[in-house]
Amino acid sequence: MIDSGDEEWVGDVADALEPRQIVGSTDRFTGRIWSVRTDTVNFGGQLIERDILLHLGAVAIIAIDDQDRVLLIRQYRHPVAMALFEPPAGLLDIPGEQPQLTAARELAEESGFQAETWQVLVDFLNSPGGSSEGIRVYLARGLTPLDGGRPATGEAEEEFLPRVWVPLATAKDLVLSGAISSPSAVCGILAAWAARDNGWANLRPADAPWPVRATLLEQGRVHPT
C-alpha cells in the first residue's frame, strides 16, 4: 500500500504486475528485432501517451572457468559506435526455444565453449522506462572447448569476436571503474561476484521460472518472432 500523505511504501519489496488500461495504440515501426508503438494509457482518469520499444528479449552467459576467470568477448555495437567487452549473449528469436537452450547455443556460437553446469544468475529489465527488453543471465561452469572451435555462424560485427579471460575480481573492478559498461556484463559480473561469496548456494536452477518474461508475453509486450 501507499500512504498518500507521505508516499512511504509499506508493502512487500518486490516488482509486481500492475497494468494501466490501454485505450488505443498506434504502430510506429516494425523491424526484425524490435518494434515501436505509441499507447494511449488511462492513468487514473488522465489520458497520456507513452512510446514503447517492444523487444524480443535475450539471454547472456557469465562463463567462469576453473581458475575463477570470466569469459568476455569484444564486439562492436553500432548504436554507441563502441567495441564493448560483453559476455556471450543472444536474442530469444527462435519460437518455442527454451531460454537455457538459447544460452547454450549462443555460448557455443560466440565463444566455442560448452558448459556442464548451468544456473540462473540474475534477471533484469534493460531499460524499463522505454523498452520491454527482458534479459536472463546464466552462470555457466565446467567449461570445455568445442571440437573445431567456434563455428563460423556470424557475419558483420559477429564474424570476429576476440575473447579474453578475466579474473572475476578484476572484472568486478573493471565494472566499478567504468571500463566495462555493457548492461549484461555489469549485471552479470556483479551478480557473480556477490553469488560466489555465498558459494553459489543462492542461485536458481537453469530451468527456474522467469515470471517477468511470462508477464511480458501475456501482456503482448514482446516483439513477435
User: Confidence class of residue 4 from pLDDT cuts 50, 70 and 90?
Assistant: low
Binned at pLDDT 50, 70 and 90, residue 119 comes out as very high
Residue 156 pLDDT = 72
Average pLDDT over residues 6-31: 93
Residue 6 pLDDT class (50, 70, 90 cuts) = confident
Q: How many CB atoms lie within 10 A of CB 45?
A: 5
* Rounded Cα distance, 18 and 197, in Å: 34
Q: Quickly state the pLDDT bin for 136 (edges 50, 70, 90).
A: very high
The C-alpha R_g of the chain, in whole angstroms, comes to 19
Residue 148 predicted with pLDDT over 90: no
Mean pLDDT of the chain: 93
In sequence order, the 6+-apart residues with CB closer than 8 A to the CB of 105 are 90
155 as an active site residue: the answer is no
Sign of CA dihedral 168, 174, 179, 182: positive
**Spatial separation of the C-alpha atoms in residues 215 and 57, rounded to whole Å:** 12
Q: pTM surpassing 0.95?
A: no
Say whether pLDDT at 188 is over 80.
yes
Chain segment 189-215, per-residue pLDDT in tens: 999 999 999 899 999 999 999 999 999
b/e per residue 61-87 (b: at least 16 CB within 10 A) = bbbbbeeebbbbbebeeeeeeeebbbb
* Separation CA 140–CA 47 (nearest Å): 46
Q: Which CATH number fits domain 58-209: 3.90.320.10, 3.30.300.30, 3.40.50.300, 3.90.79.10?
A: 3.90.79.10
- Residue spans of beta strands (DSSP E) within 56-195: 58-63, 69-77, 82-86, 89-91, 113-125, 134-145, 163-167
Q: Rounded to an integer, what distance in angstroms lies between the CA atom of residue 101 and that of residue 87?
A: 16
Residue 154 is predicted with a pLDDT of 66
pLDDT at 3 over 70: no
pLDDT per residue as tens digits for the range 67-81: 999 999 999 999 999
Catalytic residue among 8, 157, 158, 159: 158
Q: What is the pLDDT of residue 1?
A: 47
Residue type, 69: R
Q: Which range among 27-31, 158-162, 168-172, 187-191 shows the weakest confidence by mean pLDDT? A: 158-162
More confident residue, 4 or 143: 143
Report d(CA 203, CA 19) in Å as an integer.
Answer: 29
Distance CA 61, CA 108 (A): 11
Cα distance between residue 63 and residue 114, in whole Å: 9
Please list the alpha-helical segments (H only) found in 178-210.
183-196
Contact between 28 and 51 (Cβ < 8 Å): yes
Helix, strand or coil for residue 33? coil
